[in-house]
Structure 1
Amino acid sequence: MIDEVFILGAGFSHSYCKDLMPLTDDLVNFVLFDHGNSEKREFYRLTEFIKDFFSPDSEKVNFEKLATFLLSNPFQSSGETVETYRELYIDLLSLIADIYGNPTIHEKEDGFENRKILEKFSKRIKESETPIISFNYDTIIEHFLLKDDDWDLATGYSLPVYDFFTNEKHNRDLRKNNNTRLLKLHGSLNWGIPPEEIYNQTVEKIYLSKYQPDMPIHENYISGYFNEPYKLYPFIIPPVSGKTYQSKIIRNLWHQAKYAIMTAKQIHIIGYSLPESDTLVEFLFRAGAGIPPEPNRKKIRVVAPSFTEIQKLRIEKVFQTEKHEHDIQFVNMDAMEYLSTFEN
């Protein structure tokens, strides 16, 4: 049994760097329209597709909705080419890598306090080996967990990872004996997969850089690294695309996450709104709420700057059961503000 588990959503990353890390609902508008990238050659085709297909609400398109649409190839049997959707999906991956893989997020002068907060938080997490469940694609939390060189990222991910140059499996560095788990249920920008794996989604191998393991698979890898065999794409999983969970290694991550929630005495849900479309996460939370620790109640803290009554009611319905009435509190705080309340 574990004392606690932290569950991180997009609001966590947005809180760390609001200028550069948009919420997923705002992502397409933030990158393509607000920041003038729609005219860039590499994003022009995707922008035109969004404008044509989703007009007049093209600037309000949800990224995850768009990704699921493209990943599903819904009209391929009606004569539209599979390649069109494949290419648009790759363009979308490039867009996500371009924004969430921004290397300057840790260099902003006005981000000093937030960096200090996450340095203390990551040390606290590692000292207690508290598991983290993340729905984010970025590598912000990894950046801080790796700082003291005592945490092995390949082991921390709890999945088999391979070096993308040698194709050899990463073996645990015995000098790094910290067992903190970071379970990234929606994939990660630094997880590389070959182009042919994008659509079959039965992925059993994740490629990672041995020397810069938290580095996103960015433009140089998306475009091909030296030659074709090293071309990789980020492995990210749109949350409503059920077929992606054909992968055994991803299913195993979900089972680990369920066990962590089931056995935790306290759950911190930070910056995650539990959208209606994300039914798998709802089932994950329901399964985790069913077996509470003694004395029969979990402490659940849901953290966001604000909540609607509908959001509160949805969370309560998911976690409360006939057998167990958990201690749920809604904390109106920014993620960094909330984490700053914890002692190191």
Structure 2
Amino acid sequence: MAKTVFILGAGASKAAGAPLMPDFLEVAENLFLTKRVEEAKDCFEAVMRAQAELSSVNAKSQLQIRNVEDVFSAFEMANTLKKLGDYTPEDIENLVKAMKTVIVNTIEKTVAFPMSSPGDISAPSEYAGFVELLSSLREETNPKSDVAVITFNYDMALDYAFYKAGIEPFYGFEDNTTSQAIPLLKLHGSVNWGECSQCGEIFPTYVKDYANPFGVIGFTRDDKTGSARFHFGCSLATQKHKKDGALALPEPVVIPPTWNKSDHYKGIAKVWIQAARELSSAENIFIIGYSLPDSDSFFRYLYALGTMGKKILKRLWVFNPDESVKEKFRRMLGPGALQSFDYPLPADKSKFYQSQILLRQLLVERMDLKDAIESALKASTPQSWYVRTI
């Protein structure tokens, strides 16, 4: 089990191009209006129509219809209740599938992978630096520190960074894995997780699974930025379940952050169990870019039950550019954890790369906390520190 656990939210993928949750549907709508998602336009139209239908809800209740987490949760609940205005149960079921397609296409049209040539596609710089930090914690510290990553993000930026660094992710499904694998536990699913069309079992695919015999992974080039766009989720239906050889269903396994995940429990319970185990053994928990939304009661229970144990928590640090998030975490934590709790960087200096600088200087270089904070505050770009560390 890991001594150091990182918990990543949408803010960690922002620099890679992924939209934050409150902006997600606006970005999706812009992709639709600019005809960049023609292959999935019917799904985008269906989601936007249903989103407009939800606007009538606000006459009698409060619902954030511009927030993808709230809208996705509403669609899932409507599917359970078989009720959404004049929609038939079949329409609602198809709407949930459409929402997953919108999520996948929006992510894969926005997350950018730097490309110097077609044969040289890098991971987004902040994730490349993060994987470098994970490797340093495992190999350069004394004593060495086992690490694990728990993430709420659906995208593949970190998965690809693992791939480029030659590190195998352990998604929590696998019965057998190498000792060198790093737990990468995606609590809300991922665009590369499929459901077997024959047996219904959920299984992860890996970046290497998408490579051709020459080791090349298909991509499209963004003419404006020169960066690459991968289509892991959009090509999920080409991937086979290794147990029975059946293809995956076209919609990936992505689930909303509502407390009621019972419909999905059997499929990804292994992932949540592994996440709880990692939390129970953690001496350090670093939460980056996760805002603890009110809709995610699930995480509150996972944290409360997962951190039960004899391990003394040395650090529970939060890095987030939203100052109000600090109070959310304070309200969630018990007296013991509050003694370990800190918001070590000013909110406006709590970017993903700045958190990495601080943690590298403190945990790997053994720098004094005050000096480590000063070093993080001086950094102006993620590239400036990442180039220095590799």
TM-score range, shorter chain: 0.7 to 0.9
1:140 & 1:46 partners in 2: Cα distance? 25
CA distances 1:29-80 after superposition (whole Å, capped 9, x unpaired): 1221477358953322222221233269899521122112222315526874
Q: 2:18 aligns with which of 17, 21, 24?
A: 21
User: Where does residue 314 of structure 2 map in the other structure?
Assistant: 298
Summarize the alignment of residues 58-207 of structure 1 with structure 2, pairs less than 5 Å apart.
Answer: 60-72=65-77, 73=79, 76=82, 80-102=87-109, 105-107=112-114, 113-114=125-126, 116-124=128-136, 127=139, 128-149=145-166, 151-153=167-169, 156-160=170-174, 172=177, 177-194=179-196, 204-207=201-204
One-letter amino acid matched to 1:218: G
- Evaluate the alpha carbon distance shift between residue 326 and residue 28 of structure 1 in structure 2; reply closer, same or farther with a 3 A threshold: same
One-letter amino acid matched to 1:52: E
- Evaluate the alpha carbon distance shift between residue 71 and residue 224 of structure 1 in structure 2; reply closer, same or farther with a 3 A threshold: farther
| Equivalent position SS for 2:191 | strand
1:317 & 1:13 partners in 2: Cα distance? 26
One-letter amino acid matched to 2:187: L
Deviation larger for 205-214 or 80-89: 205-214
- Evaluate the alpha carbon distance shift between residue 190 and residue 2 of structure 1 in structure 2; reply closer, same or farther with a 3 A threshold: closer
1:120 & 1:189 partners in 2: Cα distance? 24
1:182 & 1:247 partners in 2: Cα distance? 18
- Evaluate the alpha carbon distance shift between residue 289 and residue 224 of structure 1 in structure 2; reply closer, same or farther with a 3 A threshold: closer
2:233 & 2:239 partners in 1: Cα distance? 10
Query: Contact (CA 8 Å) 1:189, 1:235: kept in 2 or not?
Result: yes
1:11 aligns with 2:11: yes
Query: Contact (CA 8 Å) 2:124, 2:157: kept in 1 or not?
Result: no
Between the two proteins, the alignment pairs up a number of residues equal to 314
One-letter amino acid matched to 1:272: Y
User: Where does residue 277 of structure 2 map in the other structure?
Assistant: 259
Query: Contact (CA 8 Å) 1:139, 1:216: kept in 2 or not?
Result: no
One-letter amino acid matched to 1:70: F
Deviation larger for 330-339 or 96-105: 96-105
- Evaluate the alpha carbon distance shift between residue 216 and residue 160 of structure 1 in structure 2; reply closer, same or farther with a 3 A threshold: farther
- Evaluate the alpha carbon distance shift between residue 104 and residue 24 of structure 1 in structure 2; reply closer, same or farther with a 3 A threshold: closer
CA distances 1:130-178 after superposition (whole Å, capped 9, x unpaired): 01111110111111112232x333xx112049xxxxxxxxx65xxx651
Identity %: 22
Say what the alpha-carbon RMSD is for the aligned residues.
3.6
CA distances 1:192-243 after superposition (whole Å, capped 9, x unpaired): 115699xxxxx63315256238975433446999xx9554321011111624
User: Where does residue 167 of structure 1 map in the other structure?
Assistant: none
1:245 & 1:3 partners in 2: Cα distance? 32
1:279 aligns with 2:262: no
- Evaluate the alpha carbon distance shift between residue 91 and residue 248 of structure 1 in structure 2; reply closer, same or farther with a 3 A threshold: closer
Query: Contact (CA 8 Å) 1:193, 1:234: kept in 2 or not?
Result: yes
**Structure 1 residues not aligned, in runs of 5+:** 162-170, 198-202
1:292 & 1:307 partners in 2: Cα distance? 31
- Evaluate the alpha carbon distance shift between residue 244 and residue 106 of structure 1 in structure 2; reply closer, same or farther with a 3 A threshold: farther
- Evaluate the alpha carbon distance shift between residue 113 and residue 184 of structure 1 in structure 2; reply closer, same or farther with a 3 A threshold: closer
1:49 & 1:28 partners in 2: Cα distance? 12
Task: Report the alpha carbon displacement of residue 108 of structure 1 after superposing the two structures with TM.
Answer: 6.8
| Equivalent position SS for 1:178 | coil
- Evaluate the alpha carbon distance shift between residue 246 and residue 192 of structure 1 in structure 2; reply closer, same or farther with a 3 A threshold: closer
- Evaluate the alpha carbon distance shift between residue 278 and residue 119 of structure 1 in structure 2; reply closer, same or farther with a 3 A threshold: closer
- Evaluate the alpha carbon distance shift between residue 326 and residue 6 of structure 1 in structure 2; reply closer, same or farther with a 3 A threshold: same
Task: Report the alpha carbon displacement of residue 251 of structure 1 after superposing the two structures with TM.
Answer: 2.1
Task: Report the alpha carbon displacement of residue 190 of structure 1 after superposing the two structures with TM.
Answer: 0.4
User: Where does residue 373 of structure 2 map in the other structure?
Assistant: none
One-letter amino acid matched to 1:66: V
1:220 & 1:195 partners in 2: Cα distance? 15
Task: Report the alpha carbon displacement of residue 116 of structure 1 after superposing the two structures with TM.
Answer: 4.8
2:293 & 2:234 partners in 1: Cα distance? 30
| Equivalent position SS for 1:302 | strand
One-letter amino acid matched to 2:321: P
1:184 & 1:194 partners in 2: Cα distance? 19
Query: Contact (CA 8 Å) 1:125, 1:180: kept in 2 or not?
Result: no
Deviation larger for 245-254 or 132-141: 245-254
1:241 & 1:290 partners in 2: Cα distance? 20
Query: Contact (CA 8 Å) 1:10, 1:136: kept in 2 or not?
Result: yes
Query: Contact (CA 8 Å) 2:47, 2:95: kept in 1 or not?
Result: yes
1:326 aligns with 2:324: no
2:204 & 2:307 partners in 1: Cα distance? 34
Deviation larger for 35-44 or 131-140: 35-44
| TM-score of the pair, normalised by structure 2 | 0.69
